[in-house]
């Protein structure tokens, strides 16, 4: 574990920073690269690269600096608090500035050389967010016959923006991602409209099945600027998080267009702007933003399988995202195809409501119990204990960001080995019931599955006991076809059904691009999400960062935002700064724009 | 200024606490009292007295202990952090517990004896608020055929409470006071209904004149549980604070009955409950709570003067609380009677909107410029600097509470002398324009005026310059009568008027009691607010605490709550604990129930 720094650690870190600063100031990129270990990683979030980029080894460091150093002009490297040392690694929180901004970072030294370096842009000079001592005054003192009150200004903005004035940014999708990004852009003074098809902010949660609660705990879920209060539940019920998002949207003064659908978008290269047609309360409106952000859900479009007989089946059938909840299915026979999170949640709610439920498992699934995940997987960074020991949410986000994706699984594997041991009886019972388990191809567990493919797991909040006890019936195998009243498996088994739920996952987010813009743009942008880990549903080559998320894409002025609440919070900062820089005309040459290796 | 503690200070405080603990444990109230200075103050908020009570000197301390010690059983006195010493005074943050609860306090020692002691009840044992590590889980893991979701539980509660089940507490008035108290009671699990005549939470702010902003800065204004974010304006515009209150009411899950008027209330002594008749959306409903809280605004009912000719005046005339704002009065002649906060704000807004405005000053007014008040009057406790130096809002509240009302003016006078000097030119200009200034009868300024009488001042946000420049015309004197189109002064001056605004203040809050319950109860409870300072509008004898606020009154189960946002936040804690104790049957013998010296 981490120990408090002894003086030598501080001296070691200071010496490294001084040498680094000196090499950078002299433009000696080889000398700077020589300060890194052979197996080093430098992850930069926007501050050097105007990109999210991880480079590896001395060659990677040198290449990045060769392309970015001259205009970045980094300086003022210093520690933000006393460094610590443990297990041969010295760790330091650092601060620095560049020609246009201020940065924060994290450094790990091994034998006096940088093993990992994280650099992140925190704010743009001259465009600091108005907060703390710089917060707005609110009232304008003095007498002014032309005074416009706060309410009048808000009402005027709502009246004009999108009609007589144009937003700089349009965000398609007003879930947690769009809302968090919208809040940051509002604070940065970037005129933005969020387009949301539902009638109220939070409806994307409210409309899901009624027993749904967040699977991530409260410490992991804060939005920017306003934290959940200390009486907030560990796992938010869906309607409660919906209410929070609604109030947040209101008090953060977002321009949030409800009951609005994005119909089409086209990039006008000559004008350098998008032509986005939306339908708002039945009326078509054309918006012309400079930047377009897709925040339509990292899960992308629902994957509805094509199974022979779907057209003859007489019961209810729908994708899990359309499932209305169990109320109508008491005493009915339900077949849920799939065995990940949604499948389990839906099966359990149906069983609780007195349905006869069968889960069809098509491939192995990774299962972790919620309490175990909390204790072993998250508590060091996101828990009451972490907060009490000084690991604020902001700090936890940076610590997590400082671990390179390339070696993240190495940190994860031992945690999942602990979980496996702790819950050995639980897993035994599940396997005895015929459930096919896995732990990810390299045993790295849930979070890596999430980052690589966004699927393939269930965080157990109770359904697994129902499966182990046979209360939720389990059928392994492949669906062959549907009849009028049953699901028939390839082994001939017939599963009588009044309801079939296709908990069959989601496609890549660029599917939304195909719908909204065109296929060519979707293909040019390519697959969204995943690391290129060369594991199931995350084909190589290695990408180094999440594909297309929160960073420039092959389509100018098109961006993707989203993920869980943690990602919506943390990465919205970097996306917002990229958008702000473009909005005020700061030069933003992108280093290492990602190549596209997969279209879906 | 305060210095960091040297070891001797810690030893001095520890020794005092040990002697105090020992005397209390032995029941030796004389020995305990001997640990106080002759001129000492012990302020207790609920922990010993089930009252808000300040006792003075050794005799006062002994009397309080003689009546409370045996059942309070205080123990575990300890410092919460290292004490400090400055100017011959040692200061310590302390913690302790009693038979039924846990307390926090503050101690000042002079020459080894207690000069001031503050003891406050923080929580009741076995009834701790669910927060931090004790927060609710949110989801109930496992499978349960009788599962009720969060939304179903909320909807059931809304359906049943006040109809098939009865609340323990009804709060009349859903402004900041009712909302803050309601939030604390919700966390304590006390079933509560807040009755509010407006259609939406926050409307009591929204409906006021349009240029209104809070006169207190953001650091002073936080509600419990959810702080304003760091981008919140220093002075909240009225509609923005309205929106915040609305969202707060929602996410704190208050049972808040909008568009509801309290029609009558009667205490059924035999049943030990109130019979409260309310009209909700046109329907009469009878509520039977155990406790009734008046949170109808510390200002009480509007004082509308009776002036001859009001019946013949043909223009608009209304009390300042009913003033719709300046929009309809462009180019019109307005006379505003009064020269306190509302009068100034209304005059300035009318002038900004092109009205011809005359302010009638009937008596001298205390004026402080907003920026000066912030810098000199508040910044030590409530400012960005205070927060950054570790003075949290909660700590600031306790520091402020630790200064005895009896000598509070002594701390205030030097601050106002500084303000007078800093803004000497400003005051010169005002006096030259004929404005009659005062600084309170003892020069103790604005906050003492607020505590003593709740009126008599203006926090200048710009109107004073208009007065000094003659843009707002000033007329000193007494109104004699109104004609069809003018206000006529006793000196014969005629002030032509299309509009007369009576910015003539408010009565005591027990006026609401007369309306809702009856005159006898209003008289029995007596005047609300004020300290008994024997200054204008605050007649003696000395009370020691705010009359009737947040503590038991002469009417069983009737309480008053309110004040500014600071008071609504801080004192709601103590009122909520008193109500909770009664709700769960904890014995709550009141020490020193206040006598009534004035009925209005």
pLDDT at B4 over 60: no
ipTM greater than cut 0.90: yes
A1, pLDDT greater than 50: no
In chain A, what residues touch B241 (CB-CB under 8 Å)? none
Question: β-strand B283-287 against B273-280: which pairing, if any?
Answer: antiparallel
Encoded tokens for B435: 């404005």
Task: Among B214, B226, B352, select the one facing A144 at the smallest CB separation.
Answer: B352
Measured between CA atoms, the residue of chain A closest to residue B369 is A141
B:363-402 residues touching chain A, CB 8 A cutoff: 370-371, 384-385
Nearest to B196 by CA among B283, B298, B279: B279
Distances (CA, A) of B441 to B342, B438, B537: 22, 8, 11
Nearest CA in chain A to B188: A231
Dihedral over Cα of B58, B63, B68, B70: its sign: positive
Q: What is the pLDDT of residues B412-467, one digit of tens each?
A: 999 999 999 999 999 999 999 999 999 999 999 999 999 999 999 999 988 999 99
State the pLDDT at residue A101. Answer: 98
- Read off the pLDDT of each residue in B229-233 and give the average, rounded to a whole number: 95
Q: How does residue B5 score in pLDDT terms, banded at 50, 70 and 90? A: very low
- What whole-number distance in Å separates Cα of residue B470 and Cα of residue B357? 10
Is the pLDDT score of B82 beyond 50?
A: yes
**Is residue A37 within 8 Å of residue A115, measured between CB atoms?**
yes
CB contact under 8 A, A462 and B247: no
B147: nearest CA in chain A?
A352
Q: How high is the pLDDT of residue A140? A: 74
pLDDT in tens, B188-209: 999 999 999 999 999 999 988 7
Size of interface A-B (CB pairs under 8 A): 174
Cβ atoms of residues B366 and B456 within 8 Å: yes
Mean pLDDT of B75-83: 97
The predicted structure's pLDDT at residue B20: 98
Q: Give residue A490's pLDDT.
A: 97
Q: What is the pLDDT of residue B208?
A: 83
| Min Cα separation A154/chain B (Å) | 10
- Shortest distance between the Cα of B81 and any Cα of chain A, in A, equals 16
- A325-354 residues touching B, CB cutoff 8 A: 348, 351-354
Q: How many whole angstroms separate alpha carbon A98 and alpha carbon A92?
A: 19
d(CA B562, CA A234): 32
Q: How far apart are CA B570 and CA B134, in angstroms?
A: 22
Q: Residue B142: its chain A contacts at CB < 8 A?
A: 461-462, 465
Nearest CA in chain A to B459: A141
Contact B139/A at CB under 8 A: yes
The C-alpha of B131 sits at a distance from chain A's nearest C-alpha, in angstroms, of 4
Residue by residue, DSSP assigns A12-60 as: HHHHHHHHHHHHHHTT-HHHHHTTEEEEEEEEEESTTTSSEEEEEHHHH
| Residue percentage of chain B with pLDDT more than 70 | 98
Compute the distance between CA of residue A189 and CA of residue A192 in angstroms, rounded to an integer.
9
Tens digit of each residue's pLDDT (9 = 90 or more) over A176-222: 999 999 999 999 999 999 999 999 999 999 988 777 888 899 999 99
Nearest CA in chain B to A140: B461
Residue among A141, A226, A385 minimizing CB distance to B370: A141
Distance from CA of B461 to the nearest CA of A (A): 5
Q: Which of A139, A210, A466 sits opposite B149 (nearest CB)?
A: A210
* Phi, psi dihedrals of residue A499, rounded to the nearest 5°: -140, 135
Per the CB < 8 Å rule, is B210 touching A149? yes
Give the pair of three-digit tokens for residue A113: 């050389």
Q: Which of A137, A231, A237 sits opposite B149 (nearest CB)?
A: A237
**Distant-in-sequence, close-in-space partners of A568: CB < 8 Å, separation ≥ 6:** A176, A177, A179, A180, A181, A223, A561, A562
pLDDT at A139: 75
Chain B residue at shortest CA distance from A187? B231
Each residue of A410-419: pLDDT tens digit? 999 999 999 9
Helical (H) or strand (E) element with A531: none
Q: Under DSSP, is residue B335 helix (H, G, I), strand (E, B) or coil? A: strand
Sign, CA torsion A358/A363/A364/A368: negative
pLDDT of residue B2: 44
SS3 category, A568: helix
Question: Residue A10: is it exposed, middle or buried by C-beta count within 10 angstroms (0-12/13-18/19+)?
Answer: middle
Burial of residue B182 (CB within 10 Å: 0-12, 13-18, 19+) is buried
- Coil/strand/helix, residue B158: helix
Please tell me if residue B151 touches chain A, with a CB cutoff of 8 Å: yes
* Residue keyed to tokens 């710009």: B462
Q: Note whether A236 contacts B: Cβ–Cβ < 8 A.
A: yes
Q: How confident is the model at residue A426 (pLDDT cuts 50, 70, 90)?
A: very high
CB count, 10 Å around CB of B84? 19
* Nearest chain B alpha carbon to A206: B151
**Ramachandran angles phi, psi of A112, nearest 5°:** 80, 0
Distance (Å) from the C-alpha of residue A345 to the closest C-alpha of chain B?
A: 10
On chain B, the residues whose CB falls within 8 A of the CB of A246 are 247, 250
Q: What is the pLDDT of residues B26-53, one digit of tens each?
A: 999 999 999 999 999 999 999 999 999 9
The answer to whether the Cβ–Cβ distance between A141 and B461 falls below 8 Å is: yes
b/e code A307-327 from CB counts within 10 Å (16+ = b): beeeeebebbbebbbebebbe
pLDDT one-digit tens code per residue, A355-407: 999 999 999 999 999 999 999 999 999 999 999 999 999 999 999 999 999 99
Cβ of B353 and A145 within 8 Å? yes
Tell me which residue has tokens 């070696």: A407
Q: What is the DSSP string of B343-367?
A: HHHHHHHHHHTT-EEEEEE-S-BEE
A291-304: pLDDT as tens digits: 999 999 867 788 99
Round to whole Å and give the CA distance between A470 and B200.
50
Q: Note the pLDDT of residue B585.
A: 97
The C-alpha of B431 sits at a distance from chain A's nearest C-alpha, in angstroms, of 19
In chain B, residues with a C-beta closer than 8 Å to the C-beta of A147 are: 211, 352
Cβ–Cβ of A132/B244 closer than 8 Å? no
Q: Distance between CA atoms of A428 and A441, rounded to whole angstroms?
A: 20
Judge whether A219 is closer than 8 Å to chain B, CB to CB: no
Judged by a CB distance cut-off of 8 A, whether residue A230 touches chain B is yes
pLDDT at B297 over 90: no
pTM of the model: 0.94
Tokens of A72: 């970045």
What lies within 8 Å, CB to CB, of A428 at 6+ separation is: none
Whether B141 and A370 lie within 8 Å, measured CB to CB: yes
Tokens 């006390």, residue located: B190
pLDDT at A3: 46
Of B144, B234, B466, the CB nearest to A138: B234
pLDDT computed for residue B59 by the predictor = 98
Interface of A with B in 16-45 (CB under 8 A): none
Q: Rounded to a whole number, what is the distance in Å from the CA of B243 to chain A's nearest CA?
A: 7
At B155-186, the pLDDT tens digits run: 999 999 999 999 999 999 999 999 999 999 99
Residues on chain B touching A466 (C-beta within 8 angstroms):
143
Closest among B59, B49, B213 to B550, alpha carbons compared: B49
CB A185 within 8 A of CB A169: yes
Question: Which chain B residue is nearest to residue A371, measuring alpha carbons?
Answer: B141
Structure confidence by residue, pLDDT tens digits, B366-424? 999 999 999 999 999 999 999 999 999 999 999 999 999 999 999 999 999 999 999 99
Joined tokens for residue A560:
């993707």
- Give the residue-averaged pLDDT of B5-31: 92
Mean pLDDT of chain B: 95
Question: Residue B20 CB: number of other CB atoms within 10 A?
Answer: 21
The verdict on A151 touching B (C-beta cutoff 8 Å) is: yes
Give residue-wise pLDDT tens across range A300-337: 788 999 999 999 999 999 999 899 889 999 999 999 99
Residues of B in contact with A218 (CB under 8 A): 135, 138
- Judged by DSSP in three states, B7 sits in helix
The band of B7, judged by pLDDT with boundaries at 50, 70 and 90, is low
Cα-based angle B141, B143, B144 (whole degrees, multiple of 5): 110
- C-beta separation of A85 from A35 below 8 A: no
pLDDT higher than 90, residue B215: no
pLDDT digit string, tens, across residues A96-125: 999 999 999 999 999 999 999 999 999 999
Q: Which residues of A touch B226 (CB under 8 A)?
A: 226, 229
- How, if at all, do strands A366-369 and B52-56 pair? unpaired
- Residues 453-512 of chain A with CB under 8 A from chain B are 461-463, 465-466, 471
Average pLDDT, chain A: 95
pLDDT digits (tens, 9 = 90+) for A487-532: 999 999 999 999 999 999 998 889 999 999 999 999 999 999 999 9
B244 to chain A, any CB pair closer than 8 A? The answer is yes
Q: Which residues contact B420 (CB under 8 A, 6 or more apart)?
A: B427, B439
Q: Do A463 and B143 lie within an 8 Å CB cutoff?
A: yes
- Residue of chain A whose alpha carbon sits nearest to that of B228: A226
Identify from A134, A149, A222, A234 which residue to disrupt to test chain B contact, counting B C-beta atoms within 10 A and taking the largest count. A149
pLDDT in tens, A217-262: 999 999 999 999 999 999 999 999 999 999 999 999 999 999 999 9
Closest CA to A56 of A43, A74, A47: A43
Q: How far is A250 from chain B (nearest CA, A)?
A: 7
* pLDDT in the model for residue A208: 83
Q: Extract the tokens encoding B225.
A: 């549980």
């Amino acid at each position: 574990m981490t120990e408090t720094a002894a003086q030598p650690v501080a001296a070691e870190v200071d010496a490294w920073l001084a040498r680094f600063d000196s090499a950078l100031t002299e433009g000696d990129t080889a000398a700077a690269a020589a300060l890194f270990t052979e197996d080093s990683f430098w992850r930069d979030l926007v501050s050097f690269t105007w990109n999210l980029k991880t480079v590896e080894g001395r060659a990677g460091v040198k290449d990045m600096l060769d392309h970015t150093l001259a205009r970045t002009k980094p300086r003022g490297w210093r520690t933000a608090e006393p460094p610590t040392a443990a297990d041969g690694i010295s760790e330091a929180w650092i601060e620095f500035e560049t020609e246009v901004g201020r940065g924060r970072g994290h450094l790990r030294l091994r034998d006096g050389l940088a093993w990992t370096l994280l650099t992140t842009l925190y704010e743009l000079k001259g465009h600091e967010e108005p907060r703390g001592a710089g917060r707005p005054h609110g009232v304008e003192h003095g007498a002014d016959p032309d005074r416009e009150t706060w309410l009048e200004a808000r009402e005027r903005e709502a009246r004009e923006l999108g009609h007589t004035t144009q937003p700089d940014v349009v965000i398609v999708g007003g879930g947690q991602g769009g809302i968090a990004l919208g809040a940051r852009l509002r604070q940065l003074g970037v005129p933005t409209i969020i387009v949301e098809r539902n009638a109220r902010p939070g409806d994307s949660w409210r409309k899901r099945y009624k027993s749904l609660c967040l699977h991530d705990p409260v410490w992991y879920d804060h939005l920017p600027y306003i934290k959940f209060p200390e009486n907030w539940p560990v796992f938010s019920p869906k309607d409660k998080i919906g209410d929070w998002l609604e109030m947040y949207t209101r008090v953060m003064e977002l321009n949030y267009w409800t009951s609005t659908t994005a119909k089409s978008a086209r990039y006008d290269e000559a004008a350098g702007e998008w032509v986005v047609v939306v339908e708002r309360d039945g009326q078509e409106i054309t918006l012309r933003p400079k930047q377009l952000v897709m925040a339509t859900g990292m899960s992308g479009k629902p994957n509805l399988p094509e199974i022979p007989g779907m057209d003859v089946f007489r019961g209810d059938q729908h994708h899990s995202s359309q499932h209305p909840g169990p109320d109508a299915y008491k005493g009915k026979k339900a077949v849920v195809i799939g065995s990940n999170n949604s499948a389990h949640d839906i099966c359990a709610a149906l069983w609780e409501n007195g349905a006869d439920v069968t889960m069809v498992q098509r491939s192995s699934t990774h299962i972790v119990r919620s309490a175990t995940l909390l204790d072993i997987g998250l508590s060091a960074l996101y828990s009451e204990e972490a907060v009490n020991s000084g690991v604020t949410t902001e700090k936890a986000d940076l610590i997590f960001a400082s671990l390179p994706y390339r070696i993240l699984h190495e940190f994860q594997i031992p945690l999942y080995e602990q979980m496996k041991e702790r819950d050995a009886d639980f897993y035994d019972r599940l396997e005895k019931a015929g459930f096919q388990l896995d732990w990810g191809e390299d045993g790295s567990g849930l979070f890596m599955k999430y980052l690589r493919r966004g699927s393939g797991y269930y965080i157990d909040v109770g359904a697994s006991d129902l499966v182990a006890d046979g209360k939720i019936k389990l059928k392994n195998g492949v669906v062959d076809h549907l009849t009028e009243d049953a699901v028939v498996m390839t082994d001939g088994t017939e599963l009588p059904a009044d309801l079939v739920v296709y908990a069959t996952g989601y496609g890549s987010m660029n599917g939304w691009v195909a719908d909204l813009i065109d296929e060519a743009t979707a293909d040019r942008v390519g697959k969204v999400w995943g690391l290129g880990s060369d594991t199931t549903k995350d084909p190589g080559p290695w990408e180094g960062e999440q594909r297309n998320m929160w960073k420039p894409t092959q389509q100018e002025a098109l961006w993707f935002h989203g993920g869980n609440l943690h990602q919506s919070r943390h990465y919205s900062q970097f996306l917002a700064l990229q958008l702000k820089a473009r909005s005020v005309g700061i030069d933003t040459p992108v280093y290492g724009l990602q190549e596209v290796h997969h279209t879906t």
